[in-house]
Chains A and B, each alone.
Chain A
Amino acid sequence: MTRKQKRLSVIAGALAFLGAATALTFYALGQKASYFYMPGDLQAATLESGQRIRLGGLVENGSIIRGQGTEVAFGVTDSQETVKVRYTGLLPDLFREGQGVITEGTFGPDGVFVADSVLAKHDENYMPKEVADSLKEKGVWQETKQ
């Protein structure tokens, strides 16, 4: 090979690598990004069965039911619609009735949302940003400035 051919093959190799990485990145963005919904958005949304989503809202007052061991069921609401959520595990420190949470998981066949993680982010107002923004859009909740 001449020097020029060598250089070209090196550049072609690097470009092939970059191309593969780009393709992988966009494939992963399509497959692995999970969408965020409030209970009221779900009717309009088309979900494939078993699609992972993030469901956010307020923990409905009086909805927390503790089951066997570490099982817990609660309602997530945007004060118009409510979705039942089932979760097994340790709830975060900031989890309580009337507070904003984000749960991540899939819908079971019975229409109950089975969460494998529950986040109540480290915000003093107990309000994850996504939840706060959506609630503000709906006019349900206003930011209180101390």
Chain B
Amino acid sequence: MVEIGHFALILALVLSVVQSIVPMVGARTGDARLMAVGGPVAVTALALIALSFTALTMAYVLSDFSVVNVWENSHSLKPMLFKITGTWGNHEGSMLLWILILSFFSAMVALFGGNLPATLRANVLAVQGWIATAFLLFIVITSNPFTRLIPAPIEGRDLNPILQDIGLAVHPPLLYLGYVGFSVCFSFAVAALIEGRIDAAWARWVRPWTLAAWVFLTGGIAMGSYWAYYELGWGGFWFWDPVENASFMPWLAGTALLHSAIVMEKRSALKIWTLLLAILTFSLSLLGTFLVRSGVLTSVHAFASDPSRGVFILAILTFFIGGSLTLFALRASSLTAGGLFHPISREGSLVLNNLFLTTATATVLIGTLYPLVVEAVSAEKISVGEPFFNLTFGPVMLPLLAIVPFGPLLAWKRGDVFAVAQRLMFAFGGALLVVLATLLFIDGASVFAALGAGLGTWLVLGALTDLALKSGIGSVTSAVALRRFIGLPRSVFGTALAHLGLGLTLIGIVGVVAFQSEEILVMKPGQTVEIAGKSLRFEGLQPTRGPNYTEDQGRFWLLGADGKPVAQIVSAKRFYPARQFPTTEAGIKTMWLSQLYISLGDSTPEGAVVVRLWWKPLVLLIWLGPLFMMAGGFVSLMDRRLRVGAPARRKSAGPVKVGVAS
């Protein structure tokens, strides 16, 4: 089975080379038969890579330690779920997952791209083929997951314990679906440049891919953040770690792309800019892959790495980023410019959005790469952390957040800011109330915290106002308003949901950063501690045993107002003998949107233990927000599919225009 996996991978490489060349030659010479090769080849490559991935997964499931990769990252006593997820918990396996997802997207273009012009489809598939070829070569030459180990050891070395978690089962696949999803946008952009032709229809084809990739990337980042929050035991949700930034940059650029593609689709303006963004977004995804996989950074993601891999990925990076930007420089001027618009208009607001988002991306990029550059040039080691990003990323993003509610309410071509401001009076009043209430009723609230909470409320209410105005609530009878509400285009709901989610995340961040309370103390069994008005009693440490670890469980009782215990919270220190690796398992008690977070430190022989306690108000909103954003993206996607997949139906039914505010 293992060798079958290896052969399938090599066959997929050969097919990818065919996919890179044949359809493109067909598109150039106008040979329909050559162009038609792309589709079946892409689908077959997917089948082969899926077979290869299954082979590796089976080796993990069966604990076949004659495979080096399995021996290094698995253990026969590991729970089955983590045996399976361990497949991508290491360098080789995660690259295989990367290429699996890439070929999945190529096959999707092949299968659902029937309504694309034949040459565009052929070129897109060919560019996807180049990417697949590069990464398959990378795997086969430098990171073969199927290398054998003879004689086979009896037992494996186990997976890094902090990766043995359900969060890891979900985080990398989601993140990769996002990263790699942007490859389709990239391929469309490069194909358009090769053809030298681009129009509004191009944006309509690219938008669903951008949306889908963005939804997955949002989920992947949020999942990674929540995983770090509960698994690392530090109680933080974002560390501005270079690896986090690596996933955040494509997200920021992808968000900009999402918005500029709207302008291109509706008004056929910003064409060249949208192309550039599509290229940049995937370039940042590649950069992220390079940073994480090459070992230039230290983190949980930097699995044992060797320099030849770094050089190989750097070569891929240079080829695709350099090549696509050169192509852009050569061909972009030949593309026709689009429609004109007034600075104060929907288009104008989206341009502003792009200006802010790309600047924010640039600040994150500089903060991430600067230490690497300094180290390479001067051998001095520096670190750029939270203080830097607070000073740069913050001031760039805050004005953007403040103007978000205006965007969807402005009219296309020429808008009226004052009329929109009037419509937003209610949202503004609500935000002002929250600011005042925070200052008056919460002890120790700073002006910044109050303004932050107000800004979050402004975003949430602004999104709701948008929905209310577009369905005419307040100006028409409720029955009509309800009918209009239901009939609103899905993309209007999508926008509102995503912007609302942004507001929720902001409120959550303000809640935690400004209002969390923290306590570090040594607790003896039976001792009670007060935090944020809650009493917690420490019962003592209890040694227990898991399948492949031992742990000391610290048991706590949350006491009610009458001093009676209401809920038990267990926090533990684990030890994984196979890797000689200790971990902290935080004890978390969720109360509505807030959480009580307990993490254990060293214990004394008498049974006392160092305890770190946090009360984290509204912390769940931080991850609830991205869920709303994902829902928004998903709902918009529904809208797109109707328009893209069923143009004929739309023609017969007639376009449905619903009272969009003028």
Contacts and interface: CB of A to CB of B under 8 A. Distances in A.
A17 B396 CA distance: 9
B362 A124 contact: no
Nearest to B574: A93
Contacts of B602: 91
A27 B520 CA distance: 35
A78 to B, nearest CB: 14
A47 interface: no
Given A21-B359, A129-B298, A32 B391 contact: yes
A70 B522 contact: yes
A61 to B, nearest CB: 17
A121 B299 CA distance: 7
Interface string A109-135: 000000000000111100011100110
Interface stretch (B165-173, B380-388, B530-538): B380-388
B396 A21 contact: yes
Given A21-B359, A91-B601, A34 B383 contact: yes
Contact of B300 (A70, A88, A91, A122): A122
Interface in B487-503: none
A84 interface: no
Nearest to B395: A24
A34 B371 CA distance: 10
B256 to A, nearest CB: 14
A130 B383 CA distance: 10
Given A10-B343, A91-B601, A129-B298, A24 B582 contact: no
A73 interface: no
Contact of A32 (B162, B366, B388, B520): B388
A69 interface: yes
A28 B364 CA distance: 12
B385 A25 contact: no
B363 interface: yes
B573 A32 contact: no
A122 B162 contact: yes
Interface in B192-225: none
B528 interface: no
B382 A24 contact: no
Contacts of B384: 29, 32-33
B324 interface: no
Interface of B is mostly: mixed
B520 A17 contact: no
Nearest to A146: B157
B522 A36 contact: no
A105 B371 CA distance: 18
B520 A33 contact: no
A94 B396 CA distance: 37
Contact of A94 (B355, B392, B582, B601): B582
Contacts of A122: 160, 162, 299-300
A91 B573 CA distance: 13
A55 B5 CA distance: 47
B581 A124 contact: yes
Nearest to B399: A17
Contacts of B579: 124
B568 interface: no
B233 interface: yes
Contacts of A129: 297-298
A45 to B, nearest CB: 10
B298 A33 contact: no
Contacts of B298: 121, 123, 128-130
A54 B520 contact: no
Nearest to B604: A66
A4 interface: no
Contacts of A89: 520, 612
Given A14-B355, A70-B601, A21 B363 contact: yes
B521 interface: yes
B66 to A, nearest CB: 18
Interface in B578-615: 579, 581-584, 599, 601-602, 610, 612
Interface string A28-50: 11011111100000000000000
Given A6-B343, A33-B388, A36-B383, 15 more contacts: A21-B362, A21-B363, A21-B396, A24-B395, A25-B363, A29-B388, A32-B384, A33-B371, A34-B385, A54-B383, A69-B521, A90-B612, A93-B573, A93-B584, A123-B298
Interface of A: 6, 10, 14, 17-18, 21, 24-25, 27-29, 31-36, 54, 69-70, 88-91, 93-94, 121-124, 128-130, 133-134, 146
